[in-house]
A = this chain, B = another copy of it.
Amino acid sequence: MFLASDNTGPVHPNIMQGLAEANDGFAMGYGADAIMDTVRAQVREVFEAPEAAVYLVATGTAANALALATLCAPWQTIFCTPVAHIHEDECNAPEFYTGGAKLTLVPGGDKMTPDALRRSISGEETRGVHGPQRGAVSITQVTERGGVHSLDELRGLTAVAEEFGLPVHLDGARFANALVALDCSPAEMTWKLGVDAVSFGGTKNGCMGVEAVVFFDPAKAWEFELRRKRGAHLFSKHRYLSAQMVAYLADGLWLETARQANASCARLAEGLKARGCNFLHPVEANMIFAAFPRRIHQKLHAAGAQYYVWDGSLEGDDPDEMLAARLVCDWSITPERIDAFLAHFE
């Protein structure tokens, strides 16, 4: 009954198999392995972007921080939501990698609105050299609250960025979960809308630890390579990153695992709804924020369930007080486990 995060589950057997197959004989290090050639071709095909620059790193924070540093100067500011992972959960990694750029929090929730974004951008660069300069716009898809921007919503945001000539970064730690929710193509969700760089997540969706960074314009490819090395994120035994990504993309595994996760989440959401839970955010991918009484939280925890109580505390006098849970489904969670979780609501 682990619903704490989509990084607590195991690695998909196909990925493990890929690693085992890669573990044969010698291979050149540092990204010069032959498997990486396949990865590059696969990613370009998946994105219908034959010129794209494609790199692998092992953590989502590395993907985000390196991509943003490549798009954004130290005297600029990055536009994101107040709940963005790059703001709340990366211990100032974007500030570190950019050399001290700022993050401007666009007022609102886990999705920016074009108007709010335009107001935030307009509010910067009104003071000449004194204030931070306008830098990249970073959009999270799936959002940190489980929402999925529609293509229209994304286009609304990238259009504003375009208006001001700003580059767009997509934090796609849960890229696949969003893609299958929207049932569109990777190209439609990215460069066709004006996205410049994507953090294309693998780790949360069945891999061991691999994320691709994709730049649709390869002009900054070499700079990125140097930034990756300088950041200590270039793997010597790089083939084991490549092997994960190859297996992840082969035969649509990445879409299959994402569909499983989203389906499990939908099953859980239905069950919670049937049991009268309130939802703090619409359930659109593989993450739920739902409120239910303390006594049920306590029962669940006593039974070994693992998830974050999002606000409030498990301890407390009032057994009927409503507390919110964050429940995240990964590819591996079974219907049985979900039903077992729900059984505690009786």
Tell me which residues across on chain B come within 8 A of A133, comparing CB atoms. 91, 226
A215 on the B face (CB < 8 A):
no
* Known contacts A101-B92, A130-B90: A230-B75 contact under CB 8 Å: yes
A302 on the B face (CB < 8 A):
no
B92 touches A74 (CB 8 A): yes
Tell me which residues across on chain B come within 8 A of A130, comparing CB atoms. 30, 88-91, 229
A129 touches B20 (CB 8 A): no
A209 on the B face (CB < 8 A):
yes
Q: Which of B92, B204, B232 contacts A65 (CB 8 A)?
A: B232
A231 on the B face (CB < 8 A):
yes
Q: How far is the CB of A231 from chain B (nearest CB, A)?
A: 7
Taking CB atoms and an 8 Å cut-off, the chain A residues in 270-315 that contact chain B are 306
19 A-B residue contacts at CB 8 Å? A5-B236, A11-B240, A59-B233, A60-B236, A73-B226, A74-B99, A75-B229, A88-B130, A90-B130, A90-B229, A91-B129, A95-B95, A95-B100, A100-B230, A129-B229, A203-B236, A204-B236, A208-B237, A232-B233
Q: Which A positions have Cβ atoms within 8 angstroms of B? A: 2, 4-5, 7-11, 16, 19-20, 23-30, 57-62, 65-66, 73-77, 88-93, 95-103, 105, 127, 129-133, 203-204, 208-209, 223, 225-237, 240, 306
Known pairs A5-B236, A209-B236, A232-B233; list 20 more (Cβ under 8 Å). A7-B29, A8-B28, A11-B23, A16-B19, A28-B306, A57-B232, A59-B232, A59-B234, A59-B236, A61-B232, A75-B227, A75-B230, A88-B130, A90-B232, A95-B100, A95-B102, A96-B231, A129-B229, A208-B237, A209-B240
